[in-house]
Amino acid sequence: TQKADCFRKTIHFKIGKELQQYSFTIKDSISEKVFMNLMISSKGKVVLEKVQSSENCKLQLPELDSLLLLSVQNLPVIYPAIKRGIPVTTKYRLPIIIELKE
């Protein structure tokens, strides 16, 4: 739907912009997809439930999880999903592409 596309684009943009503020030091180039499991409460609060990333990503970017958590905490309150006229809690799996060169 149009609302879902808008939500996806906005959340990708906000988290991407937040991550671009940081500089990372790595040994090898990284080109990986990291997944963030998010929960949006019926009140519009976004909570990071889990970050899924490879061992290589965890070794080279040990601070990534905490930076993703911080970026989620900095998100504005979001309008929650509505079912039958009632705000409901929603889960969302957000893929983030990490591209870093040595």
Distance CA 57, CA 80 (A): 32
Tell me the torsion sign for CA atoms 34, 1, 78, 38: negative
Residue 38 · residue 91 · CB < 8 Å:
yes
End-to-end CA distance of the chain: 39
pTM of the model: 0.81
Residue 81 · residue 87 · CB < 8 Å:
yes
One pLDDT digit (tens) per residue for the chain, 102 residues: 777 788 788 888 888 888 888 877 777 777 889 999 999 999 989 999 999 999 988 888 888 899 999 999 988 888 888 899 999 999 999 998 888 776
